[in-house]
Structure 1
Amino acid sequence: MATFMPGTLSLRAAGSSIASLFHQSILTVNSASRSPLTFCRLQRLQRSVVSTASFHSTPKCHLYRNTEFEDEKPKKIGKVNLVPPNWLKYNDVVYPPTEPGEPERPAEICHSRFQIKYGTKKMWYLAQMIRGMSIDEAIKQLSFHKKKGAAHIKETLEEAQEIAVAEHNVEFKSNLWVCDSFVTKGIVVKGLRRHARQRYGMIHYRYTNYFVRLREGRPPKDYYPPEKTGHDLMADFIKKQRARRIMYGM
């Protein structure tokens, strides 16, 4: 039958501590007896394990990229333009003075609105509808239109009308007509829609850019060239036939 002896645990603990001290002394002796090359290798291994902080620098040309200054609105978000890069430069063109006897050059005002949350194909119908209209008639027609994009075009026309009077010395704000009106494709943001059985569908959130140019004066009678009548087509055909030449003939 086993008997309990109080001194056995203390002897075992003392023996384990003595063994650990002896083991550490053997490791120190072995490390001291190693060659300097082995010691350097150990230092390299330890150095590779420790992660050191690294400093990253940015080239000078990228320091102010996509920076939003307080006195300026952001012009880009990544690679997407928020302001037209070249369209508004037409407002800065200075023409030479007209010669005596020549008709006075009408003022032209270019304006735009970028990244409108509306489909490009839907906006195109509204943009081509107001071409050749006077500014008041265009605003009136857009105010009665049921499409949502009409509100964006109407606001853009009103902004261009104010710019014409304030910055381009247009005397009467009603003495303007829509010379150019067109749209371009903006950014397309892609999203996902969940379907049944763990399937997904792609959603496209489309944006549109709108451009307009107003010209001073009355609108023309025909914005697009009128369709030719039968007599006009016959006259063009006869003129073309009489202009024929036989190549390398006498």
Structure 2
Amino acid sequence: MEVFGEKWIERAKKVTDVDSWAYNVIRSIDTTGGIYLNTLRIWCEQFPTTNKQKKPLKQRIESFSNVDHLGGVNELSWWKFLLSSNLGAEPVPTTTSPRPDFKVLTPTEFFIEVTTLNISDSEKKKLEADGAVPLDHMETLRRILLKSTNDKCEQIAFASVERRPCCLVLFDYTIWSGYGTQLFMYLASYLLGKQCGFQDLPVELSALIYVERKVMDGRIGLSLDRSAVYYNPNAAHPLAIGTFTALRQFWYQTVEVEPQSANHWVWL
């Protein structure tokens, strides 16, 4: 199964939307753009499913739509991160009913659903009208809670039926992502502080994982400074604290453990 083949390259050269990820990548295809495409090409080939099962993933990463493309890239990125963290994982076969994206088999069994928090319509309109967007952690938090309680509730419920923990991994692409804000601390204070915001989330959700990702020189990396794991103290099926040692970890009353690595980024 060919990913980013010659036919795709020819179509990408005709993209005129400067906001599309493909517009910039195709114009640097001899340098960083080529590295980016080749990285995703290799990852897709290595993804442990059949070619038939890979077809929807291939369609997403080849899509010129930023939303579709990022959704596929984030799934692949998280799979590579799991491998680098020595967590044996496999994709969950897709069916007509919603299921989580991955099942971790070792060192313990649990499920993972990967999702993306894109720039909202209100942020886009504000940026187009005023050229600026106010930093609003509460609005970002509201959208995160919506993802947890509505958009991904069926995937999370599937894991509970299997009597296994379930994590929701949320890649942040809101307007302020990557600007060095302390949203990960704001989330810790809200979810695990005195008000314990986890009370507003399903007990089937064992942990929320907040992730910042970036591309530099064509390489894909995850921030170890501003990504974090939050363990739900009310979980019906708790996830063992310390499962994700590569990331910042928070649990009840905002106890924090910093990542074991002294690096700022993990490059996949």
TM-score (norm 1): 0.30
**Which protein shows a greater Rg?**
1
Where relative contact order (Cα < 8 A, 6+ residues apart) is larger, the structure is 1
TM-score (norm 2): 0.29
